[in-house]
Amino acid sequence: MPTANIVVNNQVAEVYFPTDSNVSATVTSHSQLTQRVTFFTDSQELYKFEGSGEKQLLGSVQNRFDSPFKIKVESQGDGNWVSSDLRTGGPYQIGSTNFLIVVAENGDDTDYNDTVIQFSWKTSY
């Protein structure tokens, strides 16, 4: 089974999952600035999450992502939406559970946790 992969280019993450993976995504804010997270393809918006606050769940979704999609994270502090800097980790496998992480920094500090997106899915041995 092909592995998951993520590539960041120009503050947009492009995410690939193995075909037929049932993937859970959880989006959390750790910033007082409003965060907006958009999952999209070249032709359509898939999901949008928005909110602010420390340790605030912005949303979650479970889906089969059979084709690559992109993620853009933006923050709004002064009325304008500004793209956040993204970093990634993974994929990591613990037993049959896999994880892929995207973290975002909006520029108000340097902790890279203003938005955290955690993907998880199961694979068989």
Q: What residue numbers bound the domain in which 24 lies? A: 5-122
d(CA 30, CA 51): 10
Structure confidence by residue, pLDDT tens digits, 92-117:
999 999 999 999 999 989 999 999 99
Long-range contacts of 82-89 (CB under 8 A, 24+ apart): 82/106, 82/107, 83/11, 84/11, 84/35, 84/114, 84/115, 85/11, 85/112, 86/8, 86/11, 86/12, 86/13, 87/8, 87/112, 88/6, 88/8, 88/13
CATH number at residue 43: 2.60.120.400
Domain count, the chain: 1
Over residues 20-32, the mean pLDDT reads: 95
